[in-house]
Amino acid sequence: MKFACLLLFVPALLLAQKPLAFPNDGGVLDVREFGAKANDNLDDTAAIQTALDAFPNGNRIVFLPEGTWTVTDTLRWPKGDGGNGEKRTILQGAGMLLTKLVVPPSTPGFGDQPKAVLWTGMKPAQRFRNAVRDLTIEIGAGNPQAIGMQFNASNQGTIRSVILRAAQDSGHIGLDMGFTDEIGPLLVRKLVVEGFETGISTKWPVNSNTFEHILLRGQRRLGWHNYHQMIFARNLRSENAVTTLFNEKDSMGTVTLVDSKITGADVEAPGILNERQMYLRNVEVRGHGIPVDHADKGRDKGDVKEAGIIAEDTSHTNVAAPFRFDGEKTFSDAGKVGHLPVKETPEVPWDGKWVNIESFGADPDGKKDASAALQKAIDSGAETIYLPAGKEFFFDSEVLVRGPVRRIIGLEGRFFTEGKAAWRLVDGQNDAPVVIIERMSNRSGGHNIEIRHESKRALVVSSVTGFRVEGHGSGDIFADDLCGQLNLQKPGQSAWCRQLNVEHQGTMCRNNGGRLWILGMKTEKIGTIIETVNGGITEAAGIFIYSNAGWQDGLPAFLIENSTATLCGINERNYNHQPVSLWVRETQGGQTREMKERPWVYLSR
């Protein structure tokens, strides 16, 4: 791979960083302790599998330090007992350029039928919190049926900073997320797929997949094949002599694609072949005979035949919302609508002073409130505070997040609360400019901890379950792979969300006069999905509503009051014959209108 291509996706900080490392008392499982040894060309499969099997459903990090690790068979997430397996397992490298899992050339088993290097579990949608991070999977020559990864995660799970690479004429699928049903919601971020017959495969009707910063290069058949799934993607880059994205017909598959670039090699194949619903915004396509071929015979939208930047386009104008207060408009007016600028999630340095919350008196058995210990750790001058894995901490009081602390990390561990816990991000002295709270989860079915943003600083909430983020400050909020809630309560505040999963009864997301941007949102239970009021601006690219609890008559899925909203790629799955009955209630200047038919795209101005 050309090093320059990686610069499009990997910040200089990540490329230049030292190998990621974890504290010895953090509960992280180092594969070397199970007999694996890097850089010796000997088979590490059994040792790595033993590490994976050590704690089924354990919220544990299995760590591959810097080096090359040889794999000759599928590494499988642990089965566990009584349905406890294939979840809450995290395979972690030292860096996407530093840790390599390598399948040697002509390895037996990877040439006869499709076979994965990594496999993270089958349906049903119970594969909570699975993740693969910061490593490369490399397929040697003579392995034509090798699949880089068959990945499945539910509610909250992620692939981050991963390279999947296959030698020429080797590799079947890079990232396979179509091998089983009920995959997602999840977040794939900073993924490079080089080679393989097909780069990415996404299939089946639930539960939506969100992608950001994806590079596809050198596929032999298709860059990305989608069938039946809802995919929401931003910053897809493709360099291919084949079709980059095929959204196959005879399915419910929908694609929302924004801020992307597809480059061909003067080939006849279309850059995008779409046979179902698709929404495109700021997508550049060059080097293909037809940039976008809307091949569904029942379409009412013509092909995009001119190479260049597609400012905004949808495959089916009859489901794009023409619902405007200044009269009935067509989708051609969409180009007149401005969009929120997108901010990238800030990077937080990994180095600095780390401290264990147990060192400040936290009870690892969860019998006593650990809030006071967390406060002492914050006020100790530490830059990173960690909650060791294998413990369950109890929080049920107020904590002030202040000073130089810049990371509170769970090392994938768990907590619980009775509903009184509040972590308040406030301003003080020697404050870190960005604070990240990441990689932890609450007890299943338990209460959420409130993260109350009251600061001028930026807050990042990443790969967590069981938090309710309340914006009362002026600093930016970034939510990546959040299973919980997010509300902007103070006018003027901004939030950028990548993969927001809300399973809350009642109003799920409130924007009171702020600026809210979402890439990929999935909801369960019943309540208004997004409420935008008091001059707020909301923009969502990709929304999946799982409404099987039965919708209530008169309840709007989206409420807009004297505000603006751009909602793209709105999807619903309902199997109990009580789907959403009122999609939008919009009030502008005392006049109210309602929309009862589902819009694929909704523009309010």
DSSP 19-66: PP---TTS--EEGGGGT--TTS-SB-HHHHHHHHHTSTT--EEEEE-S
Superfamily per CATH, domain 3-240: Single-stranded right-handed beta-helix, Pectin lyase-like (2.160.20.10)
Q: Which residues contact 500 (CB under 8 A, 6 or more apart)?
A: 479, 482, 486, 509, 518, 520, 521, 522
* Adjacent-strand bridge partners of 64: 93
Query: What's the pLDDT at 221?
Result: 98
pLDDT of 545 over the 60 cut: yes
Q: Which conformational region is residue 129 in: left (phi greater than 0), alpha (psi within -120 to 50 degrees), or beta? A: left
pLDDT at 178 (0 to 100) = 97
pLDDT tens digits, 417-457: 999 999 999 999 999 999 999 999 999 888 999 999 999 99
Is the pLDDT at 584 greater than 50? The verdict is yes
Distance (Å, rounded) from C-alpha 487 to C-alpha 509? 5
pLDDT band at 604 (very low <50, low <70, confident <90, very high): confident
State the average pLDDT over residues 392-399.
97
Lowest mean pLDDT among 298-302, 386-390, 451-455: 298-302
- List the beta strands (DSSP E) in 271-397: 272-274, 277-288, 292-294, 308-314, 354-356, 384-386, 392-394
Question: What pLDDT does residue 212 have?
Answer: 98
- 3-state SS of 571-583 is EEECCCCCCCCCC
Q: What share of the chain is helix, strand, coil (3-state, %, to 5)?
A: 5, 45, 50
By DSSP bridging, strand 564-573 and strand 537-546 are parallel
User: What is the predicted pLDDT for the residue at 500?
Assistant: 98
Residue 250 has what pLDDT? 74
Residue 44 in tokens: 């590490």
pLDDT digits (tens, 9 = 90+) for 483-533: 999 999 999 999 999 999 999 899 999 999 999 999 999 999 999 999 999
The partner residues of 326 in beta bridges, in order of sequence, read none
DSSP state of 473: S
3-state class (DSSP) for residue 234: strand
Token pair belonging to 16: 């230049």
Kindly tell me if the per-residue pLDDT of 395 is higher than 70: yes
Q: What pLDDT is recorded for position 15? A: 54
Q: Can you give the pLDDT at residue 290?
A: 92
Q: Does the pLDDT at position 329 exceed 90?
A: no
The band of 81, judged by pLDDT with boundaries at 50, 70 and 90, is confident
Q: Helix or strand or coil: residue 371?
A: helix
Mean pLDDT of the chain: 92
| H or E segment and range at residue 166 | strand 158-166
Query: How many helices and strands, by DSSP H and E, does the chain display?
Result: 4, 43
Q: Which pLDDT score is estimated for 10?
A: 53
Predicted local distance difference test score (pLDDT) of residue 303: 83
* 240: pLDDT strictly greater than 80: yes
The pLDDT of 287-295, averaged and rounded, is: 91
Q: Token match 């004429």: residue? A: 169
- What pLDDT score was predicted for residue 17? 67
Residue 337 has a pLDDT of: 55
